[in-house]
Amino acid sequence: MNAIFKLATAAAATLMVVSSAAAQDQKFITIGTGGVTGVYYPTGGAICRLVNKGRKEHGIRCSVESTGGSVYNTRTIRERELDFGVVQSDVQVAAMGGTGAFDGDEPYADLRSVFSVHSEPMHVMARADAGISSVMDMKGKRINIGNPGSGTRVLAEVLMDGAGVTPADFALAAELKSSEQSAALCDGKVDATIWAAGLPNGSSMEATSTCAVTILDLTSSGMDKILGANTAYAAATIPGGMYPGNDADITSWGPKATFVTDANAPDEVVYALVKGVFDNFEDFKKLHPAFGTLTEEGMIKDGLSAPLHPGAVKYYKERGWM
């Protein structure tokens, strides 16, 4: 009996050692995204899903954090509090140059690209009864310009500058998060909201499905001036019928969503993440409608101003893409 007890005790001890070693071998990574009603959050979730699918092989466990958006993600990656993040292409440029939202910061030379994802057209949504057909019509109105630290706020400032208006021109310049804007719009607390996201996105769908909302065509709102001065942006179209009450194609512009990390991120971790996505590329494209038109070729070069991380380059070279 004592012999059996000793064997059982030894086996349990061995199991604890193995379990402890396995736990130590685990690597935990966190992806910063955006509000839960936008496309950044499901983008992070889709990437984590494919990374976690191969956890037994590489020992990496991936989780997603809902955050304030692009600027917050970039700063928090720099501070080593996030491992990866979804960031607008123009925010990449600003972070590396210490300009725009990063004015006063040291240029972020260690920012590294991993791949790009979807396009992000501006959705400038106005209550149908607000009398707003262009950004210039927003003067004297209550406008949500996005929360500080978000990529949308950066874009709102570019949009306003192109149209020749400032927050001081508004009766109210609200700073609501993306998850708050649809209810505020339909409850009559704001007359319009400025928002950029992939197609389609939950916040725009929520607003247009709940109340009468018009998504503005931006052709007459300084669009040519904006695109002429900002190579990080491109013209975009929101297809007619995508959102209730907006049956015609809507001319817009916007950045690309990109996936970034820091130069100090371990090569093997970045490699495993990239491999998880591109080895399962068709599955990835099915995880959100915004991914449907993505191509491997476009994802490894479009909208990427920061240098590619070596772990990503290793995989792309193995596939013969570089």
pLDDT in tens, 144-177: 999 998 888 999 999 999 999 999 999 999 999 9
Mean pLDDT of 178-196: 95
Q: Is the pLDDT of residue 19 over 80?
A: no
Distance of alpha carbon 199 from alpha carbon 14, whole angstroms: 52
What average pLDDT does range 116-126 have in this prediction? 93
**Which two structure tokens, joined as six digits, stand for 70?**
């692009």
* Average pLDDT score, the chain: 91
Residue 45 confidence (pLDDT): 97
Q: CA torsion 93→70→89→304, rounded to 10°?
A: 80
Show the DSSP H helices in 196-288 as ranges: 202-210, 223-229, 267-278, 281-285
CA distances from 231 to 87, 89, 93, 160 (A): 16, 10, 10, 17
Region 84-103 average pLDDT: 94
Query: How many residues would you count in the chain?
Result: 322
Q: Which residue has the higher pLDDT, 205 or 15?
A: 205
Predicted pLDDT at 307: 96
Average pLDDT on 89-97 reads 93
Name, in order, each residue with C-beta under 8 angstroms of 86's C-beta and a sequence gap of 6 or more: 31, 32, 33, 34, 40, 43, 44, 70, 73, 117, 257, 258, 259, 260
Is residue 315 pLDDT above 50, yes or no?
Answer: yes
- Please tell me the predicted confidence (pLDDT) of residue 25: 67
In whole angstroms, what is the distance from residue 87 CA to residue 75 CA? Answer: 11
Q: Does the structure show a pLDDT above 50 at 88?
A: yes
pLDDT given for residue 286 in this prediction? 94
CA 266 → CA 10, 55, 110, 192, distances in Å? Answer: 36, 16, 13, 43
Q: What confidence category does residue 197 fall into, taking pLDDT thresholds of 50, 70 and 90?
A: confident
pLDDT at 303: 87
pTM for the predicted model, two decimal places: 0.77
Tokens linked to 32: 């910063």
